[in-house]
A and B are shown apart, each in its own frame.
Chain A
Amino acid sequence: MKVFIYDDKTGGVIQQVCEDLGISTITQEMVAQESQKGNKPVGFIFDEVDALIIEMTKPTQDIQFMLAQATLLKKPTLCLYAKNQSPRELLGFIKRHYRPASIKTFSYIKKELEERVEHFLTVHDPESQHARHIPNIRFTMRLSEYVDDYVTWYAKEYNMTKAKAMRNIMHNAIEDDMYYLEKHQEDLEKKSKRKKQ
């Protein structure tokens, strides 16, 4: 997995988390250095990364550009901003329009940062988690009119089928449920230990 990191605030914490997990990283400085050596990317550089992590406490045009390209290409993107320093206008813009499933925003305090980055990377590592995100389990259910109204609106608003709308809504609910994610991670680790024994 290769991750692009834009970070001029945490003093290298994000990059360290990636390296500890054995994940390859790329930054703007690295691209510039390679370009100076004459090593130019072949094709579109966004195609070379699997995900992006952007520290966006202070929004810039480059950050807006990265978000635009990453969303277009559906690259999982973690947008971090320091607690009580939220870039309100940019956040409001992202949330006002349809919230693309690929963009996650998170306000952090220092002690939460590593865990949050690690969680994002673990979820989006295509080698370990990809299979779990393929919708291949058939499930029939009845909806109330109230719920159906919302799903119908969501599907129309964001231009997708109702089935995809349901999956998006549930996927976002999972991503926001920290209690579940912590417990689920514990369960996975227990299962993994049992398998080894």
Chain B
Amino acid sequence: MPSLDRKNIAVIHCGAMHAQITDQDSLDEWLSSIWEIDILAEVHPFFVSDAVQTHYEPEWKQTMTIIRNNWEEYDGFVVYVPASEVIQCSIAASFILGRLGKPVIFTADPYAGVLTEKNLSLMSNLINGTLMAISEHAGIYTLYDGNVFSPFQLQNIGEHNRMKYIGEPVARIDFGLHIQSELPGRSSLAQPNENLVEDITELADLEVSEPDNTGLRSITATIPIDHIPTITYTVEQNEHPTISCAIGDHHILLPMTEAAFITKLSWVLMNMKDTADMETILLQVMQKNVMGELITEL
């Protein structure tokens, strides 16, 4: 007889999931009360933060450390973050953790914070995320509105944490999971980035200026790195998002979302801070499709 296949899934609470979840104990209690998810998988909760707004330090970094440290123990990971941060956080994880051999699903509840006896949209979202996390498709994905996306497909459009997406979802969830793109399968060889021996890679702290009357923004890194070239950019209003970027004296067009651009730049600057010819390396790496962030290849 076919057996009930229940995988082990880590659920990481990194902010603003439910007003009544304030620590590990309350998260344990809440998750253990959801029989519905138990039929899908054995879930193990990790509490990181109950903040409405979280940041790279310490919350996202702690989340990625949990994923890295518990990689062998779980078959997949579901991460809840505040809705306003889910895109940026999942993009950061893509660069920092690298190409993974298990599913890591980022999601959020746009109605988080509303105190209800049983937050159905939240629980339903958790079930959807778990379904993807137990699937045979590896990688980092973002769950939004019943669909599964690469984090690089999504853009915030401001109001009420609504997002728009580029292209088609990589998977659709209705009465089951339906894969719509070719996705990598599970692999024991693809582990969180091997560079993370001692610690999770940092992201450079960047300050982005307000746009001038042409829409031009400049970027300043607040880390002590020598020889950082001047970096400015505008967001082109095309059918697909495009960043028109000047690095030193060079000008390039990058087919990517603004969130992907900023996060990738943070990651690149931090990883190459001791490099002598920074301008050349920056130009090369930013134009290289490292994790699928360049939209023409979606």
> Which residues of A come within 8 Å of B, CB atoms?
4, 6, 28, 31-32, 35, 41, 44-46, 58-62, 64-69, 71-73, 85-90, 93-94, 97-98, 100, 159
Contacts and interface: CB of A to CB of B under 8 A. Distances in A.
Can you list the 10 inter-chain pairs with the closest CB atoms, starting with the nearest? A62-B176, A89-B4, A68-B36, A45-B174, A72-B36, A71-B36, A65-B131, A68-B127, A97-B35, A68-B39
Interface string B35-72: 11111100000000000000000000000000000000
Nearest to A89: B4
Interface string B205-224: 00000000000000000000
B: interface residue count bin: 20 to 34
B34 to A, nearest CB: 8
A149 to B, nearest CB: 24
Contacts of B4: 59, 64, 87, 89-90, 93
A87 B2 contact: yes
B21 interface: no
B198 interface: no
Nearest to A5: B175
Given A58-B2, A72-B124, A35 B172 contact: yes
A47 to B, nearest CB: 10
Interface in B261-282: none
Contacts of A59: 2, 4
A179 B131 CA distance: 40
Contact of B1 (A28, A32, A87): A87
A100 B2 CA distance: 23
Given A61-B134, A93-B39, 19 more contacts: A28-B174, A31-B174, A35-B174, A35-B178, A44-B124, A46-B175, A60-B2, A64-B40, A65-B127, A65-B131, A65-B175, A66-B176, A67-B39, A68-B39, A72-B36, A89-B4, A90-B4, A94-B39, A98-B35
Given A89-B4, A90-B4, A45 B146 contact: yes
B40 A32 contact: no
30 contacts: A28-B175, A28-B176, A31-B174, A35-B174, A35-B178, A44-B124, A44-B146, A45-B146, A45-B175, A46-B175, A58-B2, A61-B176, A61-B177, A62-B175, A62-B176, A62-B177, A65-B40, A65-B127, A65-B131, A65-B176, A66-B175, A67-B36, A67-B39, A68-B40, A73-B120, A90-B4, A94-B39, A97-B35, A98-B35, A100-B35
B39 A64 contact: yes
Nearest to A100: B35
A36 to B, nearest CB: 10
A44 B111 CA distance: 15
Interface in B144-178: 146, 172, 174-178
Interface in B90-145: 120, 123-124, 127, 131, 134-135
Contacts of A73: 120, 124
Contacts of B172: 35
